[in-house]
């Protein structure tokens, strides 16, 4: 294979192309063009460049009959595309020059793009990073998801409380997608099952069309691009003219109504199962469309014999959400292609794999057999067959299975149907083996493997942190972008004063930029030399934003006691959304905002302590906050956070971590060195034991002066009416399932060590260098190589 030489366009070429698209695609002359018109013209220009590696993929993969990876996910949290595509194509300098020629402001153009927020948090963003790494590594792959018209809701605060508004990213042309009217599949629901001449036929009672919308995802250096194929629902027949004419207008519109709701909105629950019929339909819609597409492509390329499927197809189920893939693949093999059950089962099992992302019981999907039987009657039959086969083959009747108490356990289904099952960090995988899948692990120990998460360094370092990227390029060359282990080359510079000064300056530049944003958006005057302490993630009790805000209150109180003390100035930054029905998480948001309002206007503590909670945390905001952070808050109750991926982004960008031994924090700490990490709190084992002690919360609060003070100030109404947070206070005193009280003093003390460490700027910066230098392991390129070797058994395309 010839090495890939890509001809990069010059600045002049780009500016010509942009003007061409502005006039011919966008239909606007430059003198009338808005920012939006220019952004579209620029996006089409960049998209043109991606088409080359995209076609290379299609030709090579098909002509050479390569094995492909299929990543099935209900969420892809992409964020903005343009900036990332420019970086990956290596066109940043040329584009800057082109924009100079056209006299356009790059930040304004990039900032005009709405986030594609088709995900809740970590799981969706992981899928997006994986798509990018699959392209960077040149692995033939498709991502399959749903083209939600409305992504994750937008968050506002009113009186300090979260208010949700619909997100509307498709209310304007989306320049990155190609609609494929020729790839449309009918998806059935409900109806009844019939057996004719020994062959089972499902007659769905209703159906929709899944239509493909393709977005190319380009990898580093523009060598390869894969497809993210999102399904949009279309009505099977636009409407029933006959019914309409006879006056039954509502009945005539029914098929359209189902189609319009199916891909309308992303469920906003992070790590909780909503259990709604529409959600089950969405899951089946994605899965059934993907499997039809996969089988069609396989038969096009390799003929009708589907026994060879596992040699050419590896399917990854992102959590249990697409776990109906097991029964659906068996159904297609049996009912549509005539295979017997044992053979269908064997083919499906050799093709499917399952990633577990949580141990929280409320997140493990279960569907009542009643609902499953009504929405997917044929699938319920097949689930019963899989369950029966599992119980007989393991010769432990009555033992662990898929059907239990009239419910279908989707975790068990996914496990039993998978060739490999993986956890997402070393600790999490151990806990998967010893807790949720304890019994299944005893039966199939070889199935479970670990693949510690990672993040894409192109987006999360090169694109989002230009000052640091520039310094890295100047110090260790540019190869780190595609080979993050090369960050190791920084280690010798950890003792070089000139380098430490430069690193400090890069961080400060990001902090100044963020401060300007906070001033404009929140009216908050931040001191760029204060310690920027950041906790950004979904609001959830187990993530313990409550611990953070209680510590803030206690600190505020202590500063008041000795206002002339030697305090280390700090800006506490929070960001994150609560699921709309999660009342406790919402009252923590309310509390943080009320505490911020009080503390920020306190002249006594003003120079030492401020709080910022910008609303509507999303991928674009993360790209601004993470590079400006000094301290990364990773303080979940040990054993609850499966991995975390924000933790990795902070480390890579030179923030130090204050954290518990949870998820990937464990591996981060080992790699960066325990002396460069602020550890506190109970271990997963200790936490489980502590929780089992009756009265643990009250006992721990009584022992902690600082915690008592914080709770008392809230109860006194110092931040707002105490009734607003009654449920939070009550739960903390009487139940405290996530052990805020038990870990409080350890956290408070650890924060004081942070204060002291930050005052030694040289040494802090030295630790920051070591964090960056040792973070290479957390590239999603490394993660994907792990999946390739342990799970998928695929190779990059020849020459890549």
Footprint of ligand Z16 (CB under 6 A):
120-123, 126, 270-271, 319, 357-358, 363, 424, 453, 641-645, 663
The distance of Cα 103 from the centroid of its chain, to the nearest Å, equals 36
Tokens of 297: 């492509």
The least distance separating ligand Z16 from the CB of residue 765, rounded to whole angstroms, comes to: 28
Identify which of residues 17 and 120 has a Cβ nearer to ligand Z16 in the complex.
120
Identify which of residues 271 and 282 has a Cβ nearer to ligand Z16 in the complex.
271
Work out the number of other CB atoms within 10 angstroms of the CB of residue 196.
7
**Helix 583-600, helix 545-561: angle, nearest 10:** 20
Identify which of residues 145 and 644 has a Cβ nearer to ligand Z16 in the complex.
644
Name the 3-class secondary structure at 138.
Answer: coil
Tokens of 119: 């995900």
Identify which of residues 37 and 319 has a Cβ nearer to ligand Z16 in the complex.
319
Tell me the residue nearest to ligand Z16 as measured from the CB.
122
Angle at 461 between CA 592 and CA 516, to 5 degrees: 50
- What are the backbone angles phi and psi of residue 520, rounded to the nearest 5°? -65, -40
- What are the backbone angles phi and psi of residue 736, rounded to the nearest 5°? 45, 60
Answer positive or negative: Cα dihedral of 293, 295, 296, 298. positive
The residues facing 612 across adjacent strands are: 573
Question: Is the distance from CB of 352 to CB of 72 less than 8 angstroms?
Answer: no
Question: Is the distance from CB of 539 to CB of 582 less than 8 angstroms?
Answer: yes
DSSP state of 567: P
The least distance separating ligand Z16 from the CB of residue 319, rounded to whole angstroms, comes to: 5
**Secondary structure of 696-721 as H, E, C letters:** HHHHHHHHCHHHHHHHHHHHCCCCCC
Identify which of residues 73 and 706 has a Cβ nearer to ligand Z16 in the complex.
73
Question: Is the distance from CB of 261 to CB of 316 less than 8 angstroms?
Answer: no
Identify which of residues 266 and 713 has a Cβ nearer to ligand Z16 in the complex.
266
The least distance separating ligand Z16 from the CB of residue 143, rounded to whole angstroms, comes to: 15
Question: Is the distance from CB of 678 to CB of 794 less than 8 angstroms?
Answer: no
Answer positive or negative: Cα dihedral of 366, 371, 375, 376. positive
The length of the chain is 800
Name the 3-class secondary structure at 192.
Answer: strand
Identify which of residues 319 and 765 has a Cβ nearer to ligand Z16 in the complex.
319
Tokens of 649: 């982004």
The least distance separating ligand Z16 from the CB of residue 674, rounded to whole angstroms, comes to: 22
The least distance separating ligand Z16 from the CB of residue 616, rounded to whole angstroms, comes to: 18
Q: Which residues are catalytic?
A: 357, 537-538, 543, 645, 649
Greatest extent of the chain over all pairs of C-alpha atoms, in Å: 89
The least distance separating ligand Z16 from the CB of residue 268, rounded to whole angstroms, comes to: 10
The least distance separating ligand Z16 from the CB of residue 611, rounded to whole angstroms, comes to: 25
The full DSSP string for 141-170 is: EEEEEE--SB-SPEEEEETTEEEEE---TT
The least distance separating ligand Z16 from the CB of residue 634, rounded to whole angstroms, comes to: 10
Question: In which element (H, E) is residue 50 found?
Answer: helix 35-63
Question: Is the distance from CB of 369 to CB of 410 less than 8 angstroms?
Answer: no
Residue with tokens 């209900």: 74
Question: Is the distance from CB of 480 to CB of 486 less than 8 angstroms?
Answer: yes
Work out the number of other CB atoms within 10 angstroms of the CB of residue 603.
7
Which runs of E-coded beta strand occur in 52-140? 68-72, 76-79, 116-118
The least distance separating ligand Z16 from the CB of residue 270, rounded to whole angstroms, comes to: 4
Identify which of residues 228 and 664 has a Cβ nearer to ligand Z16 in the complex.
664
Buried-exposed string 349-369: b where 16+ CB fall within 10 A, e elsewhere: bbbbbbbbbbbbeebbbbbeb
Identify which of residues 330 and 664 has a Cβ nearer to ligand Z16 in the complex.
664
Identify which of residues 255 and 423 has a Cβ nearer to ligand Z16 in the complex.
423
Tokens of 195: 């057996």
Which runs of E-coded beta strand occur in 627-785? 631-634, 656-659, 678-679
The full DSSP string for 256-306 is: HHHHHHHTTB----SSS----HHHHHHHHHHHHHHHHHHHHHHHHHH-S-G
Identify which of residues 240 and 319 has a Cβ nearer to ligand Z16 in the complex.
319
Contacting residues for 570 by C-beta, under 8 A, at least 6 apart: 530, 531, 533, 608, 609, 610, 755
Identify which of residues 396 and 785 has a Cβ nearer to ligand Z16 in the complex.
785
The full DSSP string for 438-479 is: HHHHHH-GGGEEE----B-HIIIIIIT-HHHHHHHHHHH-SG
Contacting residues for 20 by C-beta, under 8 A, at least 6 apart: none
The least distance separating ligand Z16 from the CB of residue 321, rounded to whole angstroms, comes to: 8
Question: Is the distance from CB of 641 to CB of 360 less than 8 angstroms?
Answer: no
Identify which of residues 266 and 526 has a Cβ nearer to ligand Z16 in the complex.
266
The least distance separating ligand Z16 from the CB of residue 170, rounded to whole angstroms, comes to: 21
């Amino acid at each position: 294979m010839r090495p890939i030489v890509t001809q990069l366009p010059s600045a002049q070429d780009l500016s010509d192309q942009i003007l061409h698209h502005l006039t011919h695609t966008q239909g606007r002359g430059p003198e009338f063009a808005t920012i939006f018109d220019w952004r579209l013209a620029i996006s089409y220009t960049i998209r043109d460049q991606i088409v080359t590696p995209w076609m290379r993929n299609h030709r090579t993969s098909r002509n050479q009959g390569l094995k492909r990876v299929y990543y099935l996910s209900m969420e892809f949290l992409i964020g903005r595309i343009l900036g990332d595509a420019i970086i990956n194509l290596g066109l940043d300098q040329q584009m800057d020059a082109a924009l100079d020629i056209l006299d356009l402001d790059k930040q304004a153009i990039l900032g005009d793009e709405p986030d594609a927020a088709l995900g809740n948090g970590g799981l969706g963003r992981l899928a997006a990073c994986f798509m990018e790494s699959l392209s960077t590594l040149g692995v033939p792959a498709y991502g399959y998801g749903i083209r939600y018209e409305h992504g994750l809701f937008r968050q506002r605060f009113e009186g300090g409380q979260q208010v949700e508004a619909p997100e509307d990213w498709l209310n304007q042309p989306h320049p990155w997608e190609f609609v494929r009217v020729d790839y449309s599949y009918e998806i059935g629901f409900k109806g009844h099952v019939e057996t004719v001449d020994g062959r089972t036929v499902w007659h769905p009672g209703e159906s929709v069309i899944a239509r493909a919308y393709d977005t190319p995802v380009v990898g580093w250096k523009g060598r390869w691009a894969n497809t993210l194929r999102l399904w949009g629902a279309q009505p099977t027949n636009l409407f029933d003219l006959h019914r309409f004419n006879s006056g039954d207008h509502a009945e005539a519109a029914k098929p359209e109504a189902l189609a319009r709701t199916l891909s309308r909105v992303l469920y906003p629950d992070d790590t909780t199962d909503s259990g709604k019929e529409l959600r089950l339909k969405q899951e089946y819609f994605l899965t059934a469309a993907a499997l039809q597409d996969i089988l069609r492509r396989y038969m096009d390329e390799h003929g009708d014999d589907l026994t060879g499927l596992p040699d050419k197809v590896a399917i990854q189920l992102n959590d249990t959400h697409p776990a109906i893939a097991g029964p659906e693949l068996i159904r297609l093999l049996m009912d549509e292609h005539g295979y017997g059950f044992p053979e269908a089962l064997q083919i499906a099992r050799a093709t499917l794999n399952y990633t577990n992302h949580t141990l929280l019981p409320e997140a493990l999907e279960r569907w009542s057999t009643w609902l499953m039987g009504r929405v997917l009657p044929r699938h319920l039959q097949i689930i019963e067959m899989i369950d029966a086969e599992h119980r007989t083959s393991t010769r432990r009747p009555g033992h662990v299975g898929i059907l239990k108490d009239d419910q279908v356990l989707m975790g068990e289904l996914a496990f039993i149907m998978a060739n490999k099952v993986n956890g997402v960090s070393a600790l999490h995988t151990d806990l998967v083996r010893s807790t949720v899948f304890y019994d299944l692990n005893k039966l199939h120990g070889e199935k479970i493997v670990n693949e510690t998460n990672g993040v894409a360094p192109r987006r999360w370092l090169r694109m989002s942190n230009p000052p640091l990227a520039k310094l890295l390029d100047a110090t260790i060359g540019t190869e780190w972008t595609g080979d993050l282990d090369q960050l190791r080359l920084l280690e010798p510079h950890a003792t070089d004063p000139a380098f430490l000064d430069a690193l400090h300056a890069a961080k400060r530049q990001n902090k100044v930029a963020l401060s300007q944003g906070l001033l404009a958006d929140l009216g908050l005057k931040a001191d760029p030399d204060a310690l920027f302490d950041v906790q950004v993630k979904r609001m959830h009790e187990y993530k313990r934003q409550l611990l953070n805000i209680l510590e803030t209150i206690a600190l505020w109180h202590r500063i008041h006691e000795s206002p002339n003390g030697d305090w280390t100035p700090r800006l506490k930054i929070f960001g994150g959304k609560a699921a709309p029905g999660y009342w406790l998480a919402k009252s923590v948001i309310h509390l943080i905002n009320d505490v911020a309002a009080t503390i920020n206007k306190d002249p006594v503590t003003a120079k030492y302590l401020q709080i910022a909670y910008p609303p509507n945390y999303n991928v674009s905001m993360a790209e601004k906050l993470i590079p400006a952070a000094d301290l990364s808050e990773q303080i979940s109750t040990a054993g609850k956070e499966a991995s975390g991926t924000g933790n990795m982004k902070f480390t890579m960008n030179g923030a130090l971590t204050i954290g518990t031994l949870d998820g990937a924090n464990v591996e981060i700490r080992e790699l960066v060195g325990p002396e460069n990490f602020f550890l506190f709190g109970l271990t997963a084992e200790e936490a489980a034991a502590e929780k089992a002690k009756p009265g643990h919360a009250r006992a721990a609060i009584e022992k902690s002066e600082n915690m008592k003070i914080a709770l008392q100030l809230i109860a006194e109404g110092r931040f707002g009416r105490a009734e607003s947070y009654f449920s939070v206070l009550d739960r903390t005193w009487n139940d405290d399932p996530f052990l805020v009280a038990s870990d409080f003093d350890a956290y408070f003390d650890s924060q004081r060590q942070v204060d002291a460490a930050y005052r030694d700027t040289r040494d802090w910066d030295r630790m920051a260098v070591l964090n960056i230098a040792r973070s290479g392991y957390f590239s999603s390129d490394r993660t994907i190589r792990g999946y390739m070797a342990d799970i998928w058994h695929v190779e990059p395309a020849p020459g890549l």
